[in-house]
C-alpha cells in the first residue's frame, strides 16, 4: 500500500513538473476528506528516492531476518545489489522516524474503547457476509454497501422480518408488497391481486452465488494510479469501493443489476432471469468473500444464506470458487492447496446443508476451476498501470514483489516458474473433476445438480471475434481477477449452455412481463 501511494505521488510530481509537496497536496485535493491519512507522508518523500526506499525509511515496509529484501522497482543501475539499496535506506531513515510513529498509530484505531464495539460489528459482518444495517434481522438491507443491497436484493421494509426479497407472496400481496418485487395490490377491473394474476405458476426463482473474490467482482480502479488521467473525479467512487471491500457485486457476472461504471457493460444471470420473468425482481444474493486460501463454504452458510424452505421461492445456486482451492500466498504453495479428498468432503458438506434449507425445485450449478496459466501467458511482459508513465513496472515485477511479501493472491500461477504454473493447473483440473463427479453421482431431495467448466476459452474466443485482446479480460491493477468485460461475456456463455442443456433451470418466459412493466414501472428500481 505504501509503495503504491508513494509511487503515485512521485509520478504526479513528475507529470506536473512540481515538487513532491505540491504533488501530495494535489492528490489530497482529489481524495475525499476522511481518506486522507496518507497526507502526512510528504516530508519523507524525495523524488530521487524510489518508492521502495521511501517506504522502508517510513518503517511501513521492513525486511525480516533471513528473508529477501522485497522491492517493486529495479535497483538503480549503479546499485544492482541489495547492499546499495540498504545504503540508501540507512541514510533516509533519520528524517522520517518521528512522522512514521504517528502514521503507524492509525493501524490500531480499533484499540480505542469507543470504537471497539463498532470494529467488532464490522468484523462480524465481514466474517458472516451479512448486512451492517439490517434493522429487522432478515439478512436484507435498505443500505447499499457494507454487505447491503449491492450484495442482496434490496429490502422494501426493514422494520418487518416477514418482508424480504425471494419469499412467496403473503396472501398474493393484495395489501402490501411482502416479497419486494414491486408487484402488489388488486386489479380494480376484476378484483384479482396483481401478484396472483401475473406471477402464479410463473416458476419464479432467485439466484444465489457462493463464490470467491472473482464472484464478488474484486476491482481496483486503474484511474486511482494513472497520473496522466487523474482528477478528483477519479476518486469519487473511493468511499463506496472501500465500504464494499473493493468488490463490485452490483456489476458482477451472477448478481449484477446496475449499469457498470468501471468499464465494459453489465450482463448477469440475475438480469437475464429478471427479463425472463419480471416476478424475479430483487431476488438475488451474492455470498462471496475476498480470501486467497482454501475455504470450506459450509460452516458460514448457516449465517449467510437467506432462504426459508417453507416460505420462499426456489433458487438457482451457483457454486463457483474458481481459484481459492489452489491459490494461496505460501512459499510451498503446493502443500497448501486443497486435495481432491478435501474438495469432495467440503463440497458435499455444503450441498447437504443446502438440501436442508433450499425450497424444493431449486437447482445447483457447480463451476469448475479456471486454468490460471492464462494470467502469466497474457500479462507477464506488459506494463502495469503504475509502470505506464516510465515503462518501469511489468506484471512480472509486480507478481515477484507480491510473492516476496508473501501476499500474492496466487503463488502457483503468478510466477515465472513454468513447472509450478503447470502443477497448479494440474491440481485445478483434478478438483474440477471432483466437482464433475459429484454432479454426476450425488442426488439430493430438494434440488438437481449440474456441472460446467469455467468458460475461459470460450470467453477469450468470443472477445477475439469482437476485436479484443486476451489481456483485456484480466483486471489491470491486480493482474489476477476477471475484468468487467470477462464477466459480461461469461454470462452469455453460461446462459446459452443452460438454455440448451438445462432449460428447466431458467424457468419459463413470463407472458405478462410487458403488462407488469407498464403497471409497476415506477416501482421497478433496485
What three-state secondary structure class fits 189? coil
Whether 187 maps to a domain, the answer reads no
Phi/psi for 167 (5° steps) reads -85, 160
Query: Distance between CA atoms of 153 and 281, rounded to whole angstroms?
Result: 8
Residues 354 and 494 in one domain: yes
- Residues 98 and 244 occupy one common structural domain: no
211, 321: one domain? yes
The Cα 152–Cα 280 span in angstroms is 13
Q: pLDDT tens, 65-118? A: 888 889 999 876 654 445 555 445 534 554 554 344 444 444 456 777 767 777
Q: Are 297 and 315 in contact (CB under 8 A)?
A: no
Please report, for residues 47, 160, 488, the alpha-carbon distance to residue 139 in angstroms, rounded to integers and kept in the order given. 50, 12, 27
Assigned domain for 447 exists: yes
Do 373 and 502 have their domain in common? Answer: yes
Question: Which pLDDT score is estimated for 401?
Answer: 96
Kindly state whether residue 40 falls inside one of the protein's structural domains.
yes
Beta carbons within 8 Å of 143's beta carbon, 6+ residues apart: 131, 132, 133, 149
Structural domain contains residue 69: yes
Backbone angles phi, psi at 324, to 5 degrees: -55, -35
* CATH number for the domain that contains residue 498: 3.40.50.1110
Is residue 104 located within the same domain as residue 230? no
Query: How many domains does the chain fold into?
Result: 2
How many angstroms separate the Cα of 366 from the Cα of each of 48, 172, 291, 440, 452?
52, 34, 19, 11, 6
Residue 238: give the domain boundaries: 206-325+336-378+425-510
Distances (CA, A) of 61 to 40, 64, 112, 333, 405: 17, 10, 25, 23, 10
Q: CA 285 to CA 149: how far, in whole Å?
A: 9
Residues 105, 213: one domain?
Answer: no
Residue 50 lies in a domain: yes
Instruction: In whole angstroms, give the CA distance from residue 192 to residue 183.
Output: 13
Angle at 513 between CA 509 and CA 515, to 5 degrees: 145
What residues are labeled active site?
A: 213
Same domain, yes or no: 212 and 107? no
Is 234 in the same domain as 91? no
Please report whether residue 520 resides in a domain.
no
**Does 236 lie in the same domain as 98?**
no
> Tens-of-pLDDT digits for all 526 residues of the chain?
889 999 999 999 999 999 999 999 999 999 987 777 666 665 667 767 889 988 888 888 888 888 888 999 987 665 444 555 544 553 455 455 434 444 444 445 677 776 777 788 778 877 889 999 999 999 999 999 999 999 999 999 999 999 999 999 999 999 999 999 999 999 999 999 999 999 999 999 999 999 999 999 999 999 999 999 999 999 999 999 999 999 999 999 999 999 999 999 999 999 999 999 999 999 999 999 988 667 788 888 989 999 999 999 999 999 999 999 999 999 999 999 999 999 999 999 999 999 999 999 999 999 999 999 999 999 999 999 999 999 999 999 999 999 999 999 999 999 999 999 999 999 999 999 999 999 999 999 999 999 999 999 999 999 999 999 999 999 999 999 999 999 999 999 999 999 999 999 999 999 999 999 999 876 555 5
Same domain? 103 vs 246: no
pLDDT of residue 44: 65
Query: Rounded to the nearest 5 degrees, what angle is found at the Cα of 47, between the Cα atoms of 45 and 53?
Result: 60
Q: For 60, which DSSP code?
A: S
How many whole angstroms separate alpha carbon 168 and alpha carbon 355? Answer: 19
CA distance 309 to 307: 6
Establish if 481 belongs to a structural domain.
yes
**pLDDT tens-digit profile of 217-269?**
999 999 999 999 999 999 999 999 999 999 999 999 999 999 999 999 999 99
Q: Indicate whether this model's pTM tops 0.95.
A: no
Q: Are strands 284-288 and 447-452 parallel, antiparallel or unpaired?
A: unpaired
Count of all residues that appear for the chain in the document: 526
Q: Quick one: 107 and 218 in the same domain? A: no
pLDDT of residue 62: 82
- Which letter, b or e, does each residue of 124-153 get, where b requires 16 or more Cβ atoms within 10 Å of its Cβ? ebeeebbbbbbebebbbbbbbbbbbbbbbb
- Residue 117 counted as domain residue: no
Same domain, 368 and 234: yes
Amino acid at each position: 500500500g505504501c509503495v503504491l501511494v508513494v509511487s503515485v505521488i512521485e509520478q504526479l510530481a513528475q507529470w506536473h513538473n512540481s515538487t513532491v509537496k505540491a504533488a501530495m497536496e494535489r492528490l489530497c485535493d482529489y481524495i475525499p476528506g476522511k481518506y486522507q491519512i496518507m497526507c502526512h507522508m510528504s516530508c519523507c518523500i524525495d523524488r530521487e528516492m524510489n518508492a521502495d526506499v521511501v517506504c522502508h525509511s517510513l518503517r511501513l515496509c521492513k525486511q525480516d531476518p533471513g528473508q529477501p529484501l522485497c522491492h517493486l522497482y529495479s535497483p538503480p543501475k549503479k546499485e544492482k545489489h541489495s547492499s546499495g539499496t540498504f545504503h540508501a535506506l540507512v541514510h533516509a531513515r533519520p528524517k522520517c522516524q518521528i512522522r512514521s510513529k504517528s502514521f503507524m498509530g492509525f493501524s490500531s484505531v480499533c484499540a480505542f474503547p469507543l470504537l471497539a464495539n463498532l470494529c467488532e460489528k464490522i468484523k462480524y459482518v465481514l466474517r458472516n457476509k451479512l448486512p451492517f444495517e439490517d434493522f429487522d434481522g432478515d439478512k436484507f438491507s435498505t443500505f447499499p454497501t457494507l454487505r447491503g443491497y449491492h450484495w442482496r436484493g434490496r429490502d422494501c421494509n426493514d422494520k418487518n422480518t416477514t418482508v424480504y426479497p425471494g419469499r412467496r407472496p403473503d396472501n398474493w400481496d393484495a395489501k402490501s408488497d411482502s416479497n419486494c418485487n414491486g408487484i402488489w395490490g388488486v386489479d380494480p377491473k376484476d378484483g384479482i391481486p396483481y401478484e396472483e394474476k401475473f406471477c402464479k405458476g410463473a416458476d419464479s426463482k432467485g439466484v444465489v452465488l457462493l463464490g470467491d473474490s472473482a464472484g464478488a467482482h474484486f476491482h481496483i480502479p486503474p484511474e486511482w494510479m494513472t497520473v496522466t488521467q487523474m482528477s478528483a473525479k477519479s476518486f469519487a467512487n473511493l468511499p463506496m469501493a472501500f465500504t464494499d471491500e473493493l468488490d463490485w457485486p452490483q456489476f458482477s457476472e451472477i448478481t449484477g443489476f446496475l449499469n457498470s461504471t468501471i468499464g465494459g457493460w453489465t450482463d448477469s444471470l440475475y438480469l437475464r432471469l429478471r427479463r425472463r420473468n419480471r416476478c424475479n425482481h430483487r431476488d438475488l444474493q451474492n455470498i462471496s468473500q475476498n480470501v486467497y486460501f482454501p475455504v470450506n463454504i459450509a460452516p458460514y452458510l448457516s449465517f449467510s444464506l437467506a432462504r426459508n424452505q417453507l416460505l420462499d421461492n426456489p433458487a438457482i445456486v451457483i457454486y463457483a470458487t474458481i481459484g481459492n482451492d489452489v491459490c494461496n500466498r505460501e512459499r510451498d504453495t503446493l502443500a497448501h492447496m486443497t486435495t481432491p479428498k478435501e474438495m469432495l468432503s467440503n463440497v458435499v458438506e455444503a450441498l447437504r446443508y443446502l438440501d436442508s434449507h433450499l425450497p424444493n425445485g431449486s437447482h445447483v450449478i457447480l463451476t469448475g476451476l479456471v486454468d490460471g496459466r492464462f494470467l502469466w501467458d497474457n500479462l507477464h511482459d506488459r506494463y502495469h498501470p503504475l509502470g505506464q508513465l516510465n515503462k518501469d513496472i511489468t506484471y512480472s515485477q509486480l507478481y515477484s514483489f507480491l510473492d516476496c511479501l508473501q501476499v500474492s493472491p496466487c503463488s502457483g500461477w503468478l510466477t515465472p516458474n513454468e513447472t509450478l504454473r503447470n502443477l497448479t493447473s494440474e491440481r485445478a483440473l483434478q478438483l474440477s473433476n471432483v466437482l464433475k463427479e459429484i454432479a454426476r453421482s450425488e442426488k439430493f431431495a430438494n434440488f438437481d445438480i449440474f456441472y460446467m467448466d469455467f468458460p475461459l476459452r470460450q470467453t477469450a474466443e468470443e472477445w477475439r471475434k469482437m476485436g479484443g485482446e486476451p489481456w483485456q479480460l484480466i483486471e489491470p491493477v491486480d493482474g489476477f481477477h476477471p475484468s468487467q468485460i470477462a464477466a459480461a461475456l461469461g454470462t452469455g456463455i453460461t446462459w446459452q449452455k443452460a438454455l440448451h442443456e438445462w432449460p428447466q433451470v431458467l424457468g419459463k418466459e413470463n407472458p405478462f412481463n410487458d403488462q407488469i412493466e407498464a403497471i409497476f414501472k415506477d416501482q421497478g428500481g433496485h
